[in-house]
Structure 1
Amino acid sequence: MATHLGQPGRPRGLAGRIAGRIMRRHNRLDNVWTLSLLSIGDSDRVLEVGFGPGDAIRLATEAAPSCHVAGVDHSLTMLAAAKRLNRVPIEQGRVHLGLGSVDALPFPDDAFDKAFSINCIYFWPAPERGLGELRRVIRRGGIVAITVRDIDRAPYDAHRPDKLARLMSDANFESVAVQRNGTASHPLACVLGTK
């Protein structure tokens, strides 16, 4: 299983570029649905952790043309792909992408109104620490959304929505709730919490 998870977890090289293309197609519903739950507005400052090829960032800037979006990913291959896809909003100064880890987000406290991560928590070294970092960088009243596949098999079973909800509560998020969507072949859950 570790070999299978290598490219999605940290895409690199030619295989990483291929993995990015697969992510773009496979995560389309996940991206649209997660962003709809966040209702991003023009004045929002938004963070995505694990932006992959950058599709959700592009969708966020299209939905709210004046919002500002930052993103961190630990893959140079995905950083390059996301920068190509989001070239125009980057040039406009509305999108800032960089290498980084959820365990040590390179942002000050209370920097964002909303944050999200889609199908990435499986690869976080320490989900508890990552959720603590997300809570730190979200302003009071801000919201965090963690979207996962709602599947009861590895690698997804360790990150079931009920377990994530408990982790978010343990990280001192408030109003923690689980939303479900998708299809029988593509079941999704999003765990939302506010600071």
Structure 2
Amino acid sequence: MGILNKLFGNTKKPEGFWGKLMVEGMNRGHAPLADWGMSFFGDVRPKSILDCGCGGGRNVAELLKRYPQAEVTGLDYSVVSVKKSEEVNIDAVRNGRCRIVQGDVSALPFADASFDLVSAFETVYFWPGPDRSFSEVFRVLRTGGVFMVVNEADGKNKADEKWTSIIDGMKIYGKEELERFLRDAGFTHIETYRNEGKHWLTVRAVK
């Protein structure tokens, strides 16, 4: 368990050698979930996208591919994640379509109404004060903008509770809690999608 704890302990904020292994694993392991979540974006044509908790940058790359007219910003508070995301998206960074920023979701370093679409894949488990962080997302979204939360755990699978004991600071939120955070932040149009067999959860909110 020592090695596993070192590896999975880096899920929240990847650091050092074990963090590098973690972001590599995230890019591979979370891809099916992320693509499933993206299928619920709907008929959006964003010009500016923010991926909060961008991890190893795989989802930033996918967003750049899906929305070729958009500029994509990835944000993470892990130096290891920022570096990996930049490496994965180096061409887009160089041509100005992508930027990767180190920052905190509870104090987003962006002006009001900066983005049309904000995504959060497998990350809100670790957000400090989800109420404050969701309010920050609401602030940086333009009117009519979409916020998507995509989680591998929906709070209904007892087996997922093991992760909260292995990963320090992890909190699994169910549908009702996420919807409450969103309403309190100011979102009014909220839709929830579940893959019941896998306990995957996507929540789509419009400002």
TM-score (norm 1): 0.91
Q: Which residue does the alignment assign to 1:115?
A: 118
Q: Do the aligned partners of residues 127 and 117 (structure 1) sit closer, same or farther apart at CA in structure 2, a change above 3 Å counting?
A: same
Q: Which residue does the alignment assign to 1:150?
A: 154
- CA–CA distance in 1 between the matches of 2:17 and 2:130? 28
Structure 1 unaligned blocks of 5 or more: none
1:104-124 alpha-carbon deviations (Å, 9 max, x no partner): 101100000010101111111
Shift of 1:36: 2.4
- CA–CA distance in 1 between the matches of 2:45 and 2:97? 11
1:180 aligns with 2:194: yes
Q: Which residue does the alignment assign to 1:8?
A: 11
Q: Do the aligned partners of residues 136 and 65 (structure 1) sit closer, same or farther apart at CA in structure 2, a change above 3 Å counting?
A: same
Q: Which residue does the alignment assign to 1:193?
A: 205
Shift of 1:157: 6.5
Give the root-mean-square deviation of aligned CA atoms.
Answer: 2.1
Provide runs of 4+ in structure 1 moved above 4 Å.
2-5, 39-43
1:36-87 alpha-carbon deviations (Å, 9 max, x no partner): 2224766521101000000110001111222111121010111111101000
AA in 2 matched with 1:163: E
Q: Which has the higher contact order (CA 8 A, sep 6+)?
A: 2
Q: Which residue does the alignment assign to 1:25?
A: 28
The correspondence for 1:62, drawn from 45, 65, 86, is 65
How many residue pairs match? The answer is 193
Asked if the contact 2:126/2:171 (under 8 Å) is kept, the reply is: no
Asked if the contact 1:11/1:17 (under 8 Å) is kept, the reply is: yes
- CA–CA distance in 2 between the matches of 1:157 and 1:74? 18
- CA–CA distance in 2 between the matches of 1:39 and 1:66? 16
The correspondence for 1:89, drawn from 89, 92, 96, is 92
Shift of 1:158: 3.7
Q: Partner of 1:8: helix, strand, or coil?
A: coil
- CA–CA distance in 2 between the matches of 1:165 and 1:47? 20
Structure 2 unaligned blocks of 5 or more: 165-169
AA in 1 matched with 2:145: G
Shift of 1:162: 1.8
Q: Partner of 2:100: helix, strand, or coil?
A: strand
Asked if the contact 1:40/1:60 (under 8 Å) is kept, the reply is: no
- CA–CA distance in 2 between the matches of 1:32 and 1:158? 21
- CA–CA distance in 2 between the matches of 1:25 and 1:79? 17
